[in-house]
Chain A
Amino acid sequence: GAVVSQHPSRVICKSGTSVKIECRSLDFQATTMFWYRQFPKKSLMLMATSNEGSKATYEQGVEKDKFLINHASLTLSTLTVTSAHPEDSSFYICSAPAPVGPYNEQFFGPGTRLTVL
């Protein structure tokens, strides 16, 4: 099946710094990717839809200036957590829809564990 990678897998940073997380579709093109965050023992919460060549669409309650998304190419989307604070500590996961047909399975990346001190 299709593979989605994320980098880094873990990051620890100081409060106030910015952190960039990359999401790549390795063997297929993805004009759309999704970014989720997940708290311990909680479900995935959709943060935003990343669109290649246009602005990301953010879910209600997600700060656009806080979580910057750039879909630079058909295989790469980046999420930058700006001026990170301890409450931003979470598990961030990206996904991309299967390349064949709409509404099929989504391929998820392995996730990035962000810890803000």
Chain B
Amino acid sequence: SQKIEQNSEALNIQEGKTATLTCNYTNYSPAYLQWYRQDPGRGPVFLLLIRENEKEKRKERLKVTFDTTLKQSLFHITASQPADSATYLCALSYSGTYKYIFGTGTRLKVLA
């Protein structure tokens, strides 16, 4: 079955630096890969979606890359701020289904 691993359970970085989170999967590549933000006790909030034929997507300070050869997606937050502190989840889905498989998440803490 598909396994999704996100680089580390927790990541601490200094304010202003770029945070880089990884999402690695096994087996076959998904048609769609998404990144979500989740704050404690809340539901996830959608951030970005990237398709299997796309290499990179950007939205304001966020950037996502997708490498189907490495079976990996990288999620970058540039000029990080304490307000970016949250858990970030990657999720994969395949053609023909709405279902998503979620990674375990990375808890990011941006230090002031």
Chain B, interface size: which category? 20 to 34
Complex: A64 Cα to B31 Cα, angstroms? 29
Complex: A105 Cα to B51 Cα, angstroms? 12
Judge whether A107 and B46 touch: CB under 8 Å: yes
A-B contact count (CB 8 A): 58
Judge whether A43 and B98 touch: CB under 8 Å: no
Q: How far is the CB of B73 from chain A (nearest CB, A)?
A: 15
Chain A, interface size: which category? 20 to 34
Residues of chain B whose beta carbon lies under 8 Å from any beta carbon of chain A: 9, 31-32, 34, 36, 41-46, 49, 89, 93, 95, 98-105, 107
Residues of chain A whose beta carbon lies under 8 Å from any beta carbon of chain B: 1, 4, 6, 32, 34, 36, 41-46, 49, 91, 93, 95, 97, 102-111, 113
19 A-B interface contacts by CB (under 8 A):
A4-B43, A6-B43, A34-B98, A34-B100, A36-B102, A42-B104, A43-B105, A44-B44, A44-B89, A45-B102, A49-B99, A93-B44, A103-B93, A103-B95, A103-B98, A106-B34, A106-B100, A108-B43, A108-B44
